Chain A
Amino acid sequence: MPESSTVKDVLSSSVECRTSPLRRFSLTSLHRNSLGVFCSEDNVQECLSHISQELSSFGLPPVWTAGGGSELNIVAVLNCMYDLIQLHRRGLRTLENMEVEQLKSNSNVDFLQLSTTRLKEQLEISKRENTGLLERERQLQLKVKSLQNCLKNEKEEVQKLQNVIASRASQYNHEMKRKEREFNKLKERLNQLLVDKKEKKQAIDVLNNIGRADGKRSLWKTEKTEAKHEGEMYKTLLSDYDTRQRELQLENAELRKVLQQMKKDMVSILSSRKQAAKGDKHEHGGTQAASEEEDEVFDSSKDSVELYCVHAREKLTNSIRLQWRRLKSHVERLDSQVSSAQTSESKTADAVPRETHEEEMDRLKLEIQQCKDFIQAQQQLLQQQLSSPCDEETASLLSDCYMLQEKERLGDEWKTLEEQRKIFERERRNFTEAAIRLSHERKAFEEERATWLKHQFLNLSPFSDSKKPSLSKSKSAFLISAETEVSAAVAPEKFIKHQSEPPSCVPLTSPSTADLYRTLCLIPEDSSTKPKTKMEHVEESSVFCGNAPVRHKLWDDIQDRTLSQEKNSSI
């Protein structure tokens, strides 16, 4: 129906147009109102215009004109309605068709999908079969190759055997021919002998018998000699066996020693490792304990005699085997550890220790080099020192250069000591001078006292006052000198200067100071006692001049003693 086709076209083309009027009318809310009805009494005109617009958009003749009022052309309306129904019907039909088509295509699609999956599966299966077949072919080819090799080998062997057979055959033939020739010769000889009547006999013609090689007489063949021969033969055999057995024994002993040593070493190595790797050993705990017991038992019996029995031998070999196995497993473990450490850890981990190791190495090398240089320098200097041909001055200068500082110091000290010594000498001299002077003074004093006493004695009268001040003076001088001596004795090192007394006896540190003091102390004592004694003497003896020489003698003695002491001290 061309109408329907045009209507379809119109429908298809007016799809877009359709929306626009709807939009327009949405504004005017001509859609179904709240009651669900498109047209109501108030919007009839609008509905009419809308419907006519719609109809015109469908391509149908208009139903209502604007100027016609609300009157509708019923015929046109019916026609329109009929057209619309027709359109609708067509649309439904096409819809159905399309739905049918769609169903069909869906089923097609499903079918195709199923078939594709099926085909894929088939493809998979066939691929697998193909690979399987290829594999089989490869194996068969390998088999073929190996069989070919076998065939080749067999052929070679056959060839070799054929060669062998050929050579053997030739050998046999050769022998056969030789034997045949010999046989022929024999036959000829036999004939010759049969013909030849004259038979040459065997004979020996010796000038004289010669002795045996060993000089003994030859013996008759008796049973005894036969037995002797047998005996000798067995003797040689036995001696040979003996020597061999001895050699083997020695060898055996050595080997056993070596084995023992090895076992000890292995045990020591393994025991040292035991502390390090205990975890691994737990599994071997049981066997270990047993074997350790065995080892202990074994070590206790170190006597080699024990080893001669078969069980001990077996024990040794078994224990060695066990140790060896353990050692081997341990070494293998270490190897695997090392290799795993090398491979598992990245190269940095490996490189770092190596780097540090290398650094260490470099450092050590540098150190070594430095030390070497130092040693060389030292050696050079030493050589120079010993062998350098320098001139006299420098030689003499340099000869003691090492001790120079010390020598200088020594010199300085010596100098100070010398100075001190000189000072002491001086002081001693002064001291001795002072002592001499003192002695002189004492002598003078004694003389004075003597004279005083004399005077006193002579002038036992109230006119003796004029003499006293000089005596007291000298007495005070004596006392002061004694004091100074005492102080000198007490503090030998102090330099005490006495301005009051002309005889400035500077006390010195001298070993004889004490003696001197003692002697000098003795002097006042003596002198103090002496006058008494002298007085006694004087009192006792009436001879006056006798005291003086005695006193002089005493003084001399004292002086001698002091002088000798001085001499001693000076020495």
Chain B
Amino acid sequence: MNFSEVFKQTNQLCKVSPDGKYLATCVQYRLVVRDVSTLQILQLYTCLDQVSHMEWSSDSLFILCAMYNRGLVQVWSLEQPDWHCKIDEGSIGLVSSRWSPDGRHILNTTEFHLRVTVWSLCTKAVSYIKHPKACQKGDRDGRYLALAERRDCKDYVCVFVCDDWHLLRHFETETQDLAGLEWSPNGCVLAVWDSCLEYKVLLYSLDGRLLSTYSAYEWSLGVKSVSWSPSSQFLAIGSYDEKVRILNHITWKKIAQFEHPAILDSTKTVYKEVEKRPAVGSDEMSLHSITIGTTLFNTQSKYEISPLPVQIPVVKPDPDRANPKIGISALAFSSDSRYLATKNGGFQVQSLNWHCSGDSVILLGKEQLCLCYMDTDQEDK
């Protein structure tokens, strides 16, 4: 394992292009595009203000840089460095900006979620979507965009065709307060879940029919995170009760349930990071089989196998505060749907991302990065 030299970045804005060839980082107001293999700087763009959000388009040709303070969005092209595009939202402000799934439209959410402005880069046309909620998701193929809407204290889901922003379907959901939605990878099912006050996961087909509802329990805090398996066969639901429930796509019934007990004493292998520095941080994960871990920079740490039973240090969250730091906050399936990585509790892992080959998972902490390789030859113990 080799490490490259250290590059500066701000705001954790560092993304690899969807086709895997380029790496874009933001440093203050500059956008730096490098080649992934050589890490040579290919392009350098200057934005008008500090970049708050940066995103690649789905075809890896354009990069969007949003500056929320100024309400500006600038789009840069890789093929033609001279090409430029600037979107000014004016006095209405900007809260979030993102690409549409087809890579030719930009969706800007204005302040207070007043509306979503759809800017077309092809035609310079503008469309508006009213009453949006904070969740919009495009499907994997880039044909449809699902957007959650709240009107008259009711939640609706709007499905748009990304070609011409034609509203394909508009249906009400049976949720109290829709907290999130997620397309299945095959683009046929939309999973919609309620806010954490109620455990409710609704499954809608592409044409707006309700396929199934799933509710594991009542009253306690509900769903925290949801993830589809890449084959669209499983839906993993992580909840505040520290359990992951897996539903199958035929009957939409629970087929498996994984717990995250505080004391591990059965089948799993537990790797504990032991740091030489006495400072904070033992990132512990219990996955099905981990073999190697890597670290960066000064902190010399290695992973050793802890003998079972292992007590995972749990910080009991303050029950009086809202959105407590318990429960499954991150879920990620590996690309062959063999493994599921989960993050429970208040650990310092910000995101889990699997490598496309399904062999390794990247744990991104606030300052640290860790790669875990699955030993696919071994059977898990």
Interface residues of A (CB under 8 A from B): 161, 163-164, 166-168, 170-175, 182, 185-186, 189, 193, 196, 199-214, 218-219, 221, 225-226, 229-230, 232-234, 236-237, 240, 244, 248
- In this assembly, does B82 line the interface, its C-beta being within 8 Å of a C-beta of chain A? yes
A210 touches B91 (CB 8 A): no
A-B contact count (CB 8 A): 129
- In this assembly, does B278 line the interface, its C-beta being within 8 Å of a C-beta of chain A? no
Tell me, in angstroms, the Cα distance from A213 to B61 when the chains sit together: 10
B88 touches A202 (CB 8 A): yes
Interchain CB contact (< 8 A) of B122 among A175, A203, A211:
A211
**Closest chain A residue to B139, Cβ basis:** A236
B91 touches A193 (CB 8 A): yes
- In this assembly, does B345 line the interface, its C-beta being within 8 Å of a C-beta of chain A? no
**Closest chain A residue to B209, Cβ basis:** A237
Chain A hits for B49, CB < 8 A: none
Other contacts beyond A167-B220, A213-B59: 17, CB < 8 A: A170-B320, A173-B322, A196-B91, A199-B90, A199-B91, A202-B88, A202-B90, A202-B117, A202-B126, A204-B85, A204-B86, A210-B104, A213-B142, A214-B102, A233-B206, A233-B207, A248-B250
22 A-B pairs with CB atoms under 8 Å apart are A161-B219, A171-B197, A174-B321, A189-B93, A200-B90, A202-B89, A202-B92, A202-B126, A205-B85, A205-B86, A206-B85, A210-B104, A212-B104, A212-B122, A213-B142, A218-B122, A229-B163, A233-B168, A233-B206, A236-B206, A237-B188, A237-B205
**Closest chain B residue to A193, Cβ basis:** B91
Tell me, in angstroms, the Cα distance from A362 to B187 when the chains sit together: 69
Chain B: minimal CB distance from A224 (Å): 12
Tell me, in angstroms, the Cα distance from A206 to B80 when the chains sit together: 13
Chain A hits for B168, CB < 8 A: 229-230, 233
B90 touches A203 (CB 8 A): yes
Name the interface size band of chain B.
35 or more
Chain A hits for B196, CB < 8 A: 171
A225 touches B206 (CB 8 A): no
- In this assembly, does B103 line the interface, its C-beta being within 8 Å of a C-beta of chain A? yes
Task: Please provide the chain B residues from 177 to 208 with a CB less than 8 Å away from any CB of chain A in the complex.
Answer: 186-188, 196-197, 205-207
Chain B: minimal CB distance from A523 (Å): 105
Chain B interface, DSSP helix/strand/loop, else mixed: loop
B164 touches A221 (CB 8 A): yes
A237 touches B206 (CB 8 A): yes
A167 touches B221 (CB 8 A): yes
Given A189-B112, A202-B92, verify A207-B121 contact (CB < 8 Å).
no
- In this assembly, does B12 line the interface, its C-beta being within 8 Å of a C-beta of chain A? no
Chain A hits for B276, CB < 8 A: none
Chain B hits for A193, CB < 8 A: 91
Chain A hits for B378, CB < 8 A: none
Tell me, in angstroms, the Cα distance from A170 to B250 when the chains sit together: 38
- In this assembly, does B166 line the interface, its C-beta being within 8 Å of a C-beta of chain A? yes
Tell me, in angstroms, the Cα distance from A196 to B90 when the chains sit together: 13
- In this assembly, does B323 line the interface, its C-beta being within 8 Å of a C-beta of chain A? yes
**Closest chain B residue to A172, Cβ basis:** B197
Tell me, in angstroms, the Cα distance from A208 to B186 when the chains sit together: 34
- In this assembly, does B123 line the interface, its C-beta being within 8 Å of a C-beta of chain A? yes
Chain B: minimal CB distance from A230 (Å): 7
Chain B: minimal CB distance from A239 (Å): 9
- In this assembly, does B274 line the interface, its C-beta being within 8 Å of a C-beta of chain A? no
B84 touches A207 (CB 8 A): yes
Chain B hits for A196, CB < 8 A: 91
Tell me, in angstroms, the Cα distance from A186 to B92 when the chains sit together: 11
Chain A hits for B324, CB < 8 A: 167
A218 touches B85 (CB 8 A): no
Chain A hits for B89, CB < 8 A: 202
- In this assembly, does B297 line the interface, its C-beta being within 8 Å of a C-beta of chain A? no
A164 touches B124 (CB 8 A): no
Tell me, in angstroms, the Cα distance from A193 to B82 when the chains sit together: 36
Chain B hits for A234, CB < 8 A: 207
Chain A hits for B188, CB < 8 A: 236-237, 240
**Closest chain A residue to B112, Cβ basis:** A186
Tell me, in angstroms, the Cα distance from A417 to B312 when the chains sit together: 102
**Closest chain A residue to B184, Cβ basis:** A240
Chain B: minimal CB distance from A157 (Å): 11
